[in-house]
Protein backbone atom coordinates (compact mmCIF):
# COMPACT_ATOMS: atom_id res chain seq x y z
CA UNK A 1 0.00 0.00 0.00
CA UNK A 2 1.49 3.32 -1.03
CA UNK A 3 0.79 6.99 -0.44
CA UNK A 4 -0.37 8.59 -3.70
CA UNK A 5 1.20 11.79 -5.14
CA UNK A 6 -0.36 14.93 -6.61
CA UNK A 7 -0.41 13.71 -10.24
CA UNK A 8 -2.36 10.54 -9.25
CA UNK A 9 -4.86 12.58 -7.16
CA UNK A 10 -5.33 15.01 -10.07
CA UNK A 11 -5.89 12.19 -12.57
CA UNK A 12 -8.43 10.44 -10.31
CA UNK A 13 -10.26 13.70 -9.59
CA UNK A 14 -10.50 14.70 -13.23
CA UNK A 15 -11.10 11.27 -14.80
CA UNK A 16 -13.01 9.41 -12.06
CA UNK A 17 -14.69 12.36 -10.26
CA UNK A 18 -12.99 11.30 -7.01
CA UNK A 19 -13.14 14.90 -5.66
CA UNK A 20 -15.73 17.49 -6.75
CA UNK A 21 -15.18 20.39 -6.93
CA UNK A 22 -11.45 19.86 -7.46
CA UNK A 23 -8.89 22.66 -7.00
CA UNK A 24 -5.72 21.86 -8.95
CA UNK A 25 -3.01 23.39 -6.76
CA UNK A 26 -2.81 25.16 -3.43
CA UNK A 27 -4.84 28.30 -2.77
CA UNK A 28 -2.92 30.05 0.01
CA UNK A 29 -3.01 33.81 -0.19
CA UNK A 30 -5.04 35.34 2.65
CA UNK A 31 -6.74 32.04 3.53
CA UNK A 32 -6.04 28.82 5.37
CA UNK A 33 -4.76 26.79 2.40
CA UNK A 34 -6.82 24.31 0.41
CA UNK A 35 -6.54 22.31 -2.80
CA UNK A 36 -4.06 19.82 -4.23
CA UNK A 37 -0.75 19.43 -2.40
CA UNK A 38 2.29 17.18 -2.97
CA UNK A 39 0.83 14.07 -1.31
CA UNK A 40 -2.71 14.99 -0.36
CA UNK A 41 -5.68 17.23 -0.83
CA UNK A 42 -6.58 20.02 1.60
CA UNK A 43 -10.35 20.06 2.02
CA UNK A 44 -12.53 23.05 2.85
CA UNK A 45 -15.30 23.33 5.38
CA UNK A 46 -18.67 24.53 4.05
CA UNK A 47 -20.68 27.33 5.64
CA UNK A 48 -23.08 25.03 7.50
CA UNK A 49 -22.40 23.91 11.06
CA UNK A 50 -24.03 22.22 14.01
CA UNK A 51 -22.59 23.75 17.18
CA UNK A 52 -22.76 21.63 20.33
CA UNK A 53 -24.46 23.41 23.21
CA UNK A 54 -23.86 21.34 26.34
CA UNK A 55 -26.66 20.90 28.82
CA UNK A 56 -25.35 19.76 32.18
CA UNK A 57 -28.33 17.43 32.58
CA UNK A 58 -27.51 15.17 29.62
CA UNK A 59 -24.93 12.50 29.02
CA UNK A 60 -23.24 12.38 25.62
CA UNK A 61 -24.10 8.98 24.16
CA UNK A 62 -22.97 7.94 20.65
CA UNK A 63 -25.71 5.26 20.58
CA UNK A 64 -28.45 7.77 21.27
CA UNK A 65 -27.17 11.27 20.57
CA UNK A 66 -29.60 14.07 21.35
CA UNK A 67 -29.93 16.18 18.18
CA UNK A 68 -31.38 18.99 20.33
CA UNK A 69 -27.86 19.43 21.80
CA UNK A 70 -26.89 21.22 18.58
CA UNK A 71 -27.69 24.68 17.25
CA UNK A 72 -27.72 24.96 13.46
CA UNK A 73 -25.61 27.80 12.10
CA UNK A 74 -24.84 29.03 8.60
CA UNK A 75 -22.23 31.70 7.94
CA UNK A 76 -18.71 32.64 6.88
CA UNK A 77 -17.29 32.36 10.42
CA UNK A 78 -18.38 29.78 12.99
CA UNK A 79 -17.58 30.46 16.65
CA UNK A 80 -17.11 27.26 18.66
CA UNK A 81 -17.67 27.75 22.41
CA UNK A 82 -14.79 27.02 24.83
CA UNK A 83 -14.13 23.31 25.43
CA UNK A 84 -16.84 22.34 22.97
CA UNK A 85 -17.12 21.24 19.36
CA UNK A 86 -19.02 21.73 16.14
CA UNK A 87 -19.88 19.50 13.23
CA UNK A 88 -19.32 20.76 9.73
CA UNK A 89 -19.21 19.28 6.27
CA UNK A 90 -16.79 19.56 3.41
CA UNK A 91 -17.29 21.69 0.32
CA UNK A 92 -15.93 18.71 -1.63
CA UNK A 93 -17.86 15.55 -2.48
CA UNK A 94 -15.76 12.35 -2.49
CA UNK A 95 -16.00 9.08 -4.40
CA UNK A 96 -13.33 6.76 -3.01
CA UNK A 97 -12.16 4.01 -5.40
CA UNK A 98 -12.45 0.38 -4.26
CA UNK A 99 -8.65 -0.02 -3.99
CA UNK A 100 -8.13 3.18 -1.97
CA UNK A 101 -8.31 4.09 1.72
CA UNK A 102 -7.94 7.69 2.81
CA UNK A 103 -6.98 9.22 6.13
CA UNK A 104 -8.19 12.71 6.99
CA UNK A 105 -5.92 14.70 9.34
CA UNK A 106 -6.31 18.20 10.79
CA UNK A 107 -4.33 21.16 9.49
CA UNK A 108 -1.51 22.56 11.60
CA UNK A 109 -2.79 26.15 11.32
CA UNK A 110 -5.80 25.16 13.44
CA UNK A 111 -3.98 22.62 15.63
CA UNK A 112 -1.49 25.30 16.73
CA UNK A 113 -4.48 27.23 18.10
CA UNK A 114 -5.95 24.27 20.01
CA UNK A 115 -8.53 23.47 17.33
CA UNK A 116 -8.51 19.79 16.43
CA UNK A 117 -10.22 18.03 13.50
CA UNK A 118 -10.93 14.37 14.19
CA UNK A 119 -8.74 11.90 12.29
CA UNK A 120 -10.97 9.61 10.26
CA UNK A 121 -10.68 7.19 7.32
CA UNK A 122 -12.80 7.24 4.15
CA UNK A 123 -13.23 3.56 3.37
CA UNK A 124 -13.06 1.94 -0.09
CA UNK A 125 -16.12 2.93 -2.16
CA UNK A 126 -17.37 5.42 0.43
CA UNK A 127 -19.09 8.36 -1.23
CA UNK A 128 -20.44 11.68 0.03
CA UNK A 129 -19.71 14.97 1.73
CA UNK A 130 -17.53 14.42 4.78
CA UNK A 131 -18.99 15.27 8.19
CA UNK A 132 -16.19 16.85 10.21
CA UNK A 133 -15.89 17.03 13.98
CA UNK A 134 -14.04 20.20 14.98
CA UNK A 135 -13.02 20.44 18.65
CA UNK A 136 -12.11 23.62 20.48
CA UNK A 137 -9.79 22.41 23.24
CA UNK A 138 -9.16 25.92 24.57
CA UNK A 139 -10.94 27.81 27.38
CA UNK A 140 -11.77 30.58 24.85
CA UNK A 141 -14.15 30.82 21.87
CA UNK A 142 -12.57 29.69 18.57
CA UNK A 143 -13.18 30.84 14.97
CA UNK A 144 -13.57 28.47 12.03
CA UNK A 145 -13.52 30.00 8.54
CA UNK A 146 -16.00 28.58 6.02
CA UNK A 147 -14.70 28.08 2.49
CA UNK A 148 -11.11 27.68 3.71
CA UNK A 149 -8.89 24.68 4.47
CA UNK A 150 -9.75 22.61 7.53
CA UNK A 151 -7.99 19.23 7.04
CA UNK A 152 -5.87 17.21 4.63
CA UNK A 153 -6.86 13.94 3.00
CA UNK A 154 -4.10 11.40 2.29
CA UNK A 155 -4.76 8.65 -0.29
CA UNK A 156 -3.37 5.13 0.10
CA UNK A 157 -3.74 2.67 -2.77
CA UNK A 158 -3.84 -1.01 -1.74
CA UNK A 159 -1.79 -3.77 -3.32
CA UNK A 160 -5.01 -5.70 -3.97
CA UNK A 161 -8.77 -5.26 -3.98
CA UNK A 162 -10.76 -5.69 -0.76
CA UNK A 163 -13.40 -8.41 -0.57
CA UNK A 164 -15.99 -6.09 1.00
CA UNK A 165 -16.16 -2.35 0.42
CA UNK A 166 -18.12 0.28 2.32
CA UNK A 167 -20.69 0.28 -0.49
CA UNK A 168 -20.97 -3.53 -0.38
CA UNK A 169 -21.85 -3.47 3.32
CA UNK A 170 -24.28 -0.59 2.75
CA UNK A 171 -22.48 1.67 5.23
CA UNK A 172 -24.66 3.95 7.34
CA UNK A 173 -22.88 7.13 6.20
CA UNK A 174 -22.91 6.33 2.48
CA UNK A 175 -23.78 9.22 0.11
CA UNK A 176 -24.38 11.72 2.91
CA UNK A 177 -25.48 15.08 1.53
CA UNK A 178 -25.35 17.11 4.72
CA UNK A 179 -23.98 17.00 8.27
CA UNK A 180 -24.90 13.60 9.70
CA UNK A 181 -25.00 12.89 13.44
CA UNK A 182 -23.75 9.65 14.98
CA UNK A 183 -25.81 6.64 13.86
CA UNK A 184 -26.10 3.17 15.29
Q: How far is residue 47's CA from residue 147's CA, in Å, rounded to a whole number? A: 7
> DSSP secondary structure string, 92-121?
EEEE--TTEEEEEEE-HHHHTTTEEEPPEE
163 is an active site residue: no
| Three-state DSSP state, 147 | coil
**Rg of the chain taking only CA atoms, in angstroms:** 17
- The residue from 123, 125, 133, 148 that is catalytic is 133
Q: Which long-range contacts does 168-172 make (Cβ < 8 Å, 24+ apart)?
A: 168/125, 171/123, 171/126
The catalytic site residues sit at: 133
Amino acid sequence: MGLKPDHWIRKMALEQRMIEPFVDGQVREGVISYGLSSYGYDIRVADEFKIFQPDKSIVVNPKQFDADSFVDFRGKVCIIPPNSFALGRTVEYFRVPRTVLTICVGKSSYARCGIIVNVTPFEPEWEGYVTLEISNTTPLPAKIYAGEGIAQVLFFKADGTCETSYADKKGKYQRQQSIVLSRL
